[in-house]
Amino acid sequence: MDAESLLLSLELASGSGQGLSPDRRASLLTSLMLVKRDYRYDRVLFWGRILGLVADYYIAQGLSEDQLAPRKTLYSLNCMEWSLLPPATDEMMVQTSVVKGRFTGDPSHEYEHTELQKVNDGEKVFEEEVVVQIKEETRLVSIIDQIDKAVSVIPRGALFKTPFGPVHVNRTFEGLSLSQAKKLSSYFHFREPVELKNKTLLEKADLDPSLDFLDSLEHDIPKGCGWTALLGADF
């Protein structure tokens, strides 16, 4: 949710039952303004909240002018002091895939994971149990990245691509009409397109290169249960 329209977006998203208490809301509004000034972001988005056992993480993301450039992720425990998270890498993903269970809420907490590794000692090859320490921060980073890649969605027409390459917010976008809002094809994944180049030339002919430069939700597997478009007065 954009920091500028935070209150409105919170109201709209309240149908799921998760919300923010008034003190959190107030502190978010204040601190996100400061983050935007300090880090010189073009837009600051309140990403959400990750629940932990002892404390919850509040996550925000900062975008630069080019909306599709890699985003900076920040986290906070009290919605006032924000810390930058390192960018996600593939090996982080692999490393943290072995950790299961809830987040503890303590960013310095380390998960211990014992692995069997083959160690060459001269001519002998034996397996040794190695205890790998995985920091919760790393796990946080990779989880946020996974969630973003899977479910970060933007409606068609909200962003447009300039001939020079950068992607900008479309100021003339007024929203989707009722019939368009129900269709999955009017929503895109908000990340680097993966399937776009696999489309046939015929399909590409129908696309508008300035608006349709991202993957659509239509072809996500599994069909039918991957995405549902709900319309309601309160959703």
Query: How far apart are CB 66 and other proteins at their closest, in Å?
Result: 33
233 binds other proteins (CB under 8 A): yes
Taking the C-alpha atoms of residue 214 and residue 161, their distance in angstroms, rounded to an integer, is: 10
Tokens 């919300």 belong to residue: 19
Dig out the tokens for 40 from the structure: 């010189």
Selected from 116, 125, 131, 178, the binder of other proteins by CB under 8 A is 178
Maximal CA-CA distance, the chain: 71
What binding mask, one character per residue, do residues 22-61 give for other proteins by CB under 8 A, x or -?
A: xxx--------------------------x-xx-------
Taking the C-alpha atoms of residue 195 and residue 208, their distance in angstroms, rounded to an integer, is: 16
Q: Which secondary structure element, helix H or strand E, spans residue 46, and what is its range? A: strand 43-50
For residue 109, report the phi and psi dihedrals to the nearest 5 degrees: -65, 145
162 binds other proteins (CB under 8 A): no
Selected from 5, 78, 89, 114, the binder of other proteins by CB under 8 A is 78
Applying the rule CB under 8 A, the residues between 82 and 101 that interact with other proteins are 100-101
Which residues contact other proteins (rule: CB under 8 A)?
A: 11, 14-24, 51, 53-54, 78, 100-102, 178, 225, 228, 230-234
